[in-house]
Structure 1
Amino acid sequence: MSAARRLCQGRGVVFAFCLMVGLVLFSLAPAFALDQVSLQLKWKHQFQFAGYYAAVEKGFYRDSGLEVDVREGGPGVDAGAEVAKGAADFGVCTTSVLVNSAMRANNVVLGVIFQHSAAIILVPHRAGIHVVSELKGHRLMDASGSDDIAAMLKHEGVDYASLPRVTHAGDPRDLLSGKAGAMVAYSTSEPYLFEEYGTPYLFFSPRAYGFDFYGDNLCTSKQQVAKHPERVRAFRAASLKGWAYALAHKEEIVDLIRRNYSTQKDRKALLFEAARTELLIRPHLMPIGHQSIERWKAIAQAYVDIGMLNEAKLPEWLIYVSDDGGWRAQLKEPQLWGLLALAIVSILGLIGYRRNARVFGELRLSGVMSGLFVLLSIPVLIFILVYNYQQNSAAINATLNDVVTKTKQASIEDAGNLINPVAATLELLATVAAQDPTTFKQEESRELLYRALTSAPQIDAVYVSLEDGYHRVVTRIDDDRRRADSKIPASANWHSSYIDSFAGSPRRVRHRTFFDAWPRIVGNYDVDTILDIRTLPGYQAAKEVRALIVEEPSINPDTGYPIISVRFPIVKDGAFIGCASANITLNVLSRFLTSHRASARGTTLIANPANRTIIAAPDLHKIVRKQDNRVEIAKLDTIADENVREAYRLHSETNSDDFLFRSPQNGEEISASFTPFPGSFGKPWEVITLTPTDDFVGTLKRTNRQMIVLITALTGIELLLIYVFSRRLSRPIEGVSRELRLVEDLTFSHAAPASSNIKEIKELQTAVSLFETSLRSFSSFVPLDVVRKLIKTGTPLTLGVEERFLTVLFTDLEEFSGLAEHMAPNDLLAQLSVYFEAVSHAIAEESGTVDKFIGDGIMAFWGAPVYRDDHVLRACCGAMRAMRRMQLINVDWSRQGRPSLHLRIGLHCADVLVGNVGSSERLSYTVMGDGVNVAARLEGINKTFGTAICISDSVVEAIGPSIVARPIKKVQVKGRKREFMIYELLGIRASDDPELKASDDAVRLCELTLKASLHFERGELDHAAPRYDDILRAFPDDGVAKSMLAACLPPAEATTIAAPAK
């Protein structure tokens, strides 16, 4: 190729690269569309619409080319309907777009601003309405558009349409004046005035009754989306940007509202609204504007369940699917640069391949195809993976937020249910006492107190205390109280007592009565007391404010567990005369918190941030702690839970209510949320929810991981397929060749090779598989070393032997014939298999070759076909291992009631013939010669002397210093004329292996036997006999000493010992 041509090609590549970069950067440029549009609010100007004010003031709309006319709403204005009929381009609508036919047919929800509805029913405490069902017959100050309110009322059996209505002017003072008994309000606004006035109130939230609807939504019409898609996209993006700014700069936007829009609310009220609004938007947990199709379906189903909608099917156009400026806007900056980097790498890879093709030489097809696939496909797959992970992460955060919010709301509702029923009961007792203060000075009144006590499981004690000091109480009796007072009868379950007033005498007595089953009395006693309920802080507070008082938790001295005291003043003719009180245990609330957690390992607590006191926790033991030998309520910074302490520390330092942190225990990510109780509760408590994100969203995260694995696997599979097919085209028998190389080393593959559809390759694979199977079977009958040598050298298997110095071993079982006669065949076979397995493994571990199995015996040898210099020592080690292992096996068999198999071994080394013998059709690789016969005779000699391993003098001569062996005597075996010395092998010298090491007794026995044997071999029988007798005294069961002592007594004329027959 000419230089000019290469230069042209190089310039072409560079031009293509520059063009691609230019297109990417050009795609990032925003599009502007100047236009005038209108935005209809659903109510009067307030912080509820702060994001739109911020978008106007900060120029976000203007930067998007929009001139926005923000129209104030109010009573009688339905923003969703205005959008549906085309009177407004955009509007703030509610979930009523699902049920209103006009809005359902035309409206499109661009984004959800309020993830939870702010709609509530507000009730002053004086109205006496404690549950939703009690709203029946009361006048309701109502405003249209709160479908979740209607759903809650219908669910609770209240006919919404039949309630007397009062015009809603948006002023809660109308409710305070008595104009209505209840008011449809927003939790972000109207409660502020009640708290400012110090007026006790309750509110009913649809969310607490299972109707968790979206709140304010930004919507437009189908026509706007179809005709002006860029306008819609730009308006949505600018609005969401405005909301993010407004929540980050609340005070600035509050001042803006009062300056440019409305002064109806003072600055403090708007800041109150701003804080409550952020709790409903949840910007820290999910993107502003996020909406979920699953959540919309759940809302639609709720409408169906209460009969407000016929079917839960959503209009296909309802949820706006925004590209937010296209894929370029969805990508985060790191993702964009990553994608650009991948494109650059791909281009440089192509340039490098073209310029270096000659350097690389001939390339394999598999390599070329795989490289092209990586360069062209991997960047796209990585982009898809990252984008999908981003979307899934947003869904995870939304789901987590929903469940955590529901958990917190349920905890607040349950805490209210813990106290509200008790308050109602105390109010009833106070009413009775006010009518006749002497009622509770009579014994009959304890029945009324008992009924009040048993009206709720959380009540531990109910009592009425009067200003004259008189006090009457009914309590439960549990094990803690029994332990605290030994006078309480063991069978008592209830207790009633009263304390005399100060009027009768300065000496006050507590009269105590105990019951097993109410009202059966099982005991009573009187005791002096100095208790004066009037001095307690809760009593004084009730006297001062003349209203319900809920005290902070305190430790019950009888039980050691925390209680909450609730007091209601008794007022007669305007004068305070006492208190009706109850002690509430937190067991019920703790059990509720245990069963209502956001996740399996989540934790929900209730605490008082003012003094850091723990009110309730799933584990009661964590609520209390011992300090200086006294029990006290645990605090957020001292509770025995590292995660709670860390969350409280971060909450205090950052002043953030919702955040993520790492557990100091194990480093896992935990979502923390601090939510205050509503002002109507009367106590500054808050719900703390800690949720391990992995525990809660584990399924979604596993899905993300599985998707990563799936895409990676698919990519790998594609690469593999390209590689496999190209290899099949270029080298179809490479796999077969690899199998043959494995066979050469006798490394048999247990995995079946990949099947081929090509006929010739398939036939070749079948042939190789048959060859491998045949060779594996052949190796089971012929020593592996022999087979390996034949394959390596290529020598044909023929008849022939060679002389070689080897070590030969024979084994046999003692009294096997007798055992075979009495044992069942299957039992005998099972034990023989264990014996053969143990001895064969011992031989193989020392590189020995098992020649054959002869009945109950085994023949083996060392030094062939692979010669080893240390074959004699290895043979002795193999014999010792076989013997020690059989001894352990016999111990186990004895415990099982099975007969033992006692092993005898003969070992000899000599020059023998080794090789293939037999016929031309059937061969056997074996050893033969006089040395083999000697080894067999030595095995039999064990029976004569009661030994286990009998070795010849040639073994001792070869490795004597390395073994522990004692001499027996010179013998002449059958077939040999010359006598030779035989020995008993007792162990391997200088070995720490428990299977080889000789015991101290064995070493001593060897030394004693050597001295006796020297005398015996010199014919000094008179000296030898005492030595053998000494051995028997030390080792009474020694067979060698017994035999040799017997040989010393009468003169021995011949020493020909034949191998005994079995």
Structure 2
Amino acid sequence: MMRAPSLRVTILTLFLVLTVPVFLSVFTYSYFTSSKLVRDDTIERIALYQADVDESIENFFREVVSKAESAAIAGSLQADFYLERSAIDYLTSVTLGTPGVLSTYVGLEADGSFLQARRMQTGQRVNDQDLPPGSVFARRWITADGTGTRIDTYAFEDAQGEPLGQLSNVTAYDPRLRMWYEVTRDGGEVTISDPDVFAALGLVGFTVAAPIYWDQELGGIAAIDLTLDSLSAYLARQSVSPASASFILDQRGNVLANSDKAAVFPDSAGALRLPHITEWPDPIVGVAYGQRPRGDENGEPFLLQYDGQDYLASLKPITTVQDKAWQVFVIAPMADFNTEIASNNRRMLMIGIGATILQIFVIWLLAQRIARPLEMLVRDVEQIRDLSPDPLPPLPTVRIREIALLSRAVGTLDTAIRSFASFVPVGLVRQLLQSEQKLEIGGNSRFLTVFFSDIEGFSEQSENLPSRELLMRVSDYLSILTGAVNDEAGTIDKFIGDGVMAFWGAPTLLEDHAKRACLAALRVQIEVKRLGQDLMDRGMDPLNVRIGIHSDAVLVGNIGSADRMSYTVLGDGVNVASRLEAMNKTYGTRICISHTVYREAGEILCTRPIGDVTIKGRRGSVTIYELLGAFEAGAEFEPDEQTLSLALRSRDAYARRAAGDLEEAQVLYRAILEDFPDDGVARAALDQLEDDLASSNRT
């Protein structure tokens, strides 16, 4: 079969067939119409630039307003949140995590308490005192002492967040008397102040404030101070042309941000103020502003001449800022655009006979730019099909709409497949993608290992812990467990509240599925112990996890309906694993495994027998074991001498009990309890032995 031509060759051939016959006519036409095209293109560029500025301002304010509302909501949801000085940590994250923010602060209605996280500038002074050297950030709080005196305290930090010292002074500052507080309190909603000059910094800034309500009563105000520096930087970075100038003006024509980054001017008394656009040092700016069309709400560009040069200017309202009649003003010399076109025309006349060769070269480059992104997209789709953990490499910038749409579609596909793989076993997803088969209901019987876990005392913790701390605990626990299961090639089946069900041996066959499940359980306990120690170091209760593991033949596959299904396991073996997890509560153990698990992986496991127990819904008894460690599987799993001693002594006691020597078993278990007084297994065994001996004596 003949090989199909490449996209590059096809594009080159089509361009040559269609363009060569009309090359001269197109060239002649473009030569005489270039000026009009340049002007139209410039108008379009200015319009797009103004739209981008409008969008950037909208995004800028949306983020800041959202942060202010979030700070207010935090105080509304938890009435005592801002009563603790630790809330400054949250204000610090807002200040440092939001571009352009100078400070984030909260004033409370009840007593005028004040919390603030603010950036510090070189040369700043606080209460007429110099800052500690290297200070770039400060935490501030104002509280009243026992006599009603208000104390204003600053705690300074360096760029790495290390403390540098504190300054405390008596103050009369009361946030409730400040304009930002009064305006927001009276308005009852988010407010954005008019831009003003922060005299200490020489920057244009404003305040966004949001009310905090407790039971429909005003509890305080959360506010953010920020500057328009980032907008000036954006105007300078995204200019229409090299010699263009752009400004953001308020309703009176004062300059709020500009591409020259000149923020403020001194007045006759030396005080800083916002400059008016007509005072700008470049005279063309004031001339253009004076010639703007009056009453033009659409910001249509207009032409003007000054000093023998043509300029294109536009003054367009900004519609995205709440209750602010701001405008974006752009001026661009036509020479920035005409020069390039004139140069191109002269170059095209000079190349003459070589025009066709040049055209072929340019078309080949164009074909390359079109074909290469498509080839990269094919590579990306193959990477998605293979479920590679690596992120998709970025594509080169493409101005072809269809390719850009296709690129976004491939990115969406990647996100969808990765999200799908978060809910469905990765092995199953990879198998489906490679086989190109539809996902259908069905399953088969397979011998595998099932794993259940839950948090000890979770119900009590749910009642006693704050919801945020409870959520963090559960998230840390689930992260530990998910990582351990994934490290041992297991499959997370489902999260059941604080419980987790997982299994090994499907969809990928594993010869050592029981061993892997046990190692995952041990790894979970090691990581949970570290987490618990960290919690205790912070004065909180530790976190304990109980795990049950059982190996059995179960039904595994896609279970559910045509509209909704789940890849899961069903069968008596699943119930046994769940019951084993619950057995930990009875015996005070952490990991309980069945005899089948012991049989499959016992040679590397450090275990001790618990006893024969009856599983609800199952005939006969099941021998269960406590998993204490593993041999030759890593230093972290190796049992210590004390654990080995407990395992050996428990085996001896169990062996005597199984042999019918109840009195000797009783002696051995009592000896274990003397050395391990908190051992629930030995205590339960003694209780059972006492019952057995009493029954034997009665008969």
What's the TM-score once normalised by structure 2's chain length? Answer: 0.46
Higher relative contact order, structure no. (Cα contacts within 8 Å, ≥ 6 residues apart): 2
Structure number with greater Rg is 1
TM-score, normalised via structure 1 length: 0.31
